[in-house]
Chains A and B, each alone.
Chain A
Amino acid sequence: MAERVFAGKLERAGFHNVWMGGHRPFGIDEATLYPLFTPEVISEMRRTIPSDHQDHVATGVIVKARKPG
């Protein structure tokens, strides 16, 4: 899910003051630390994702928002 899509879903759910920060790249090397990613999918990621994107496949983000009160 893209960040702008995430923000849109939060606003449609009724949240206000949506804030996104603390961005941190998440690459294939990071994925290998998680046992949920099988060796097969890691291998597939290395094969199919362009080498110049492999260190930033996704982005870790902190999302804050408030329910109107």
Chain B
Amino acid sequence: MYQDEIKEAVRNAYSGISTGGGHPVARRFYSESELAEIPEGSIEWALGVGNPVRYAFLQPGETVLDVGSGGGIDTILAARRVGPLGTAIGLDIVDEMRARGRRHAAAAGVSGWTEFLRGEMEAIPLPDGSVDVVISNGVLNLSARKSRALAEIFRVLRPGGRICLADLTVEGELPPEVANDQSAWSG
């Protein structure tokens, strides 16, 4: 598949689903106390593969960018950690996901210091050095231009800034019937 085909397949897949993984996915990665911090609607849209916020050691006042924020589960957890003196920014290319993120952030009471931007991870619409921490959850593997995405993440981080990404790695080759399937790319 070509880069544009992959991007379109991913966008269509995420636009087309009517629910996320819900509690069966969320409970794999988040503790009961973490889930208690998140609105039910956000849990319904859990689609991640880990818990980057737990490992990010976010501090009050920090600016955090969540690349591929989806239904907002990690953006909201990050917003709670950085507090109203900080900023949590969710970035997503899918309009429906950003709308959900905004709605869930409002339900969580963190919308005063949380925003959701439209954009691609390969062209992040933020200035150089404007972010303290970048998190993401199962998103970088969706990019057909991973080096470009990492260069963009590096650019928007301030000197000394850090990343904490949850993702999937694959050792060896998947069967071509699976590797070339749009659904496998999107998942």
Contacts and interface: CB of A to CB of B under 8 A. Distances in A.
Contact of A62 (B162, B166, B171, B187): B166
Interface stretch (B35-43, B102-110, B143-151): B143-151
Q: How large is the interface on A (under 10, 10 to 19, 20 to 34, 35 or more residues)?
A: 35 or more
A63 B178 contact: no
Interface of A: 1-3, 6, 9-10, 12-15, 22, 24, 26, 30-31, 33-38, 40-41, 44-45, 47-49, 57-69
Interface in B120-139: none
Contacts of B49: 26, 60
18 contacts: A1-B170, A3-B171, A34-B21, A34-B47, A35-B18, A35-B21, A36-B14, A36-B17, A36-B47, A41-B184, A44-B181, A45-B175, A58-B170, A59-B169, A64-B55, A64-B162, A67-B161, A68-B160
B31 interface: no
